Amino acid sequence: MTGLLVIMGSGETAPTMVKPHREIFERCGDRPAVLLDTPYGFQENADDISTRALKYFADSTGRSVKVASWRTTPPPGLDRERALADLRSAGWLFAGPGSPTYALRQWTDTEIPVVLREAVARDAVVLFASAAALTLSSHTIPVYEIYKVGAEPAWAPGLDLIRPLTGLPAVIIPHYDNAEGGHHDTRFCYLGERRLRMLEPELPEDSFILGVDEHTAAVFDPAASTVRVLGNGGLTLRRSGGSRWWPSGTLLPFTAFTGATPPSQSSSSSSGAAGLPPSRPSLPATSLGAETLTAVTRFDTCYESRDVDGCVAAALALEQAMHDWIADTDVSDEREQARSALRRMLVRLGGLAGTERLTPLVTALVALRTAARESKDWALSDALRDAMQTAGVSVQDTPAGPVVTY
């Protein structure tokens, strides 16, 4: 019996992936769970990332996880042997966010690739997400260098473990459906279509791309020669410029990826495995950023209608979302954006609450001004208008009646 290789596209410490994590942990039983901290080992907040990850797994799955520290390649000696002993005893071995090329510099030509292969062979679960997932293939996207620094698109050599573990000549790309760019294309782990097309011809002829959507897990079972899709998104086979997508809940044989006929854009609508949709549906964004946008939109709507209770409910929903996502180890600035949005809500809410106390008085003054206008007492009408304007209340006369703006 062999273990499992699990690839998560993102969200490895997000609320969206609690259910898949619980299911995967059931496979491990009571064996030790170990987090390998290499991919983010270069970051100044590495300790904080580890702490948040351990708290996430403890709170959401009830499992205690131990950190195996390999932030830089330890020299031969006790520290190195201790880390290797922890990894070799693990029934669940996890690595996640950070830089794939940094991790590769610390893992290549060390015991780590062998440890990972042996873990799957002895029925353990190897769960690699985000940056760590990029390291497993023969070819790796140097995402920081390309997307952040502006390096020319080029593959970096990976650990080349996917083919030995599964028999599939697959190149894994997490964050496959990323939409953070808004008006510019950040799909395919921030490469976008243009740069991915530049890189594809450099892959070996028999290779293909397997894209794992964000907040999605692909569970490879080498013994059964199957892959199961869990989470919110799906799994994409991309070869020769064409793609085929399978949604969460799908169980696929490895042979689904190795057919003689490559997929094409039109073949996405052809019949395939039972129950597969004819095309990839539009999926809702799942992130703290998306929940922030939802809360802000709700707040703005309630603010315009002077619905104080609705504004309070929107602010409370955002605060709850910030709590739910507090363990997320994603290095984006969504947490700070949510905090800023909440502070703006509170400031505006304070002003709105103040105007609500003035409403009965303003209503009476507007009625008095209307009566003055009807009796053509323009001096009193103007005086009432100017007094309200001094207090920050604007009155605009329209054919339908006066419109009051605070």
Q: How far apart are CA 156 and CA 104, in angstroms?
A: 9
pLDDT at residue number 268: 38
Segment 175-191 mean pLDDT? 90
Asked if residue 133 lies in contact with residue 172, where contact means CB atoms within 8 angstroms, the answer is yes
HSE (side-chain half, CA atoms, 13 Å) at 200: 18
- Cβ-in-10-Å burial (0-12, 13-18, 19+) of 343 comes to exposed
pLDDT at residue number 265: 44
pLDDT at residue number 102: 98
pLDDT at residue number 358: 65
- Residue at token pair 């390291």: 135
Which of 250, 237, 176 minimizes the C-alpha distance to 208? 237
The DSSP line for 62-99 is: ---EEEE--SS-PPTTHHHHHHHHHHHH-SEEEE-SS-
Q: How far apart are CA 165 and CA 122, in angstroms?
A: 12
Q: How far apart are CA 86 and CA 111, in angstroms?
A: 13
Which of 231, 228, 246 minimizes the C-alpha distance to 11? 231
Segment 185-201 mean pLDDT? 94
pLDDT at 183 over 90: no
Tens of pLDDT, residue by residue over 128-143, are 999 999 999 999 999 9
pLDDT at residue number 329: 67
Q: How far apart are CA 170 and CA 258, in angstroms?
A: 10
pLDDT at residue number 336: 82
Q: How far apart are CA 148 and CA 140, in angstroms?
A: 16
Tens of pLDDT, residue by residue over 248-284, are 999 999 999 986 455 554 333 333 333 334 455 555 5
- Residue at token pair 């019949």: 271
Tens of pLDDT, residue by residue over 342-371, are 888 878 877 776 666 667 777 887 888 888
> Which sequence spans correspond to the domains of the chain?
4-269, 288-405
- Residue at token pair 């709170």: 59
pLDDT at residue number 330: 63
Q: How far apart are CA 369 and CA 208, in angstroms?
A: 75
pLDDT at 327 over 80: no
Tens of pLDDT, residue by residue over 54-75, are 999 999 999 999 999 999 999 9
CATH code at 4-269:
3.40.50.880
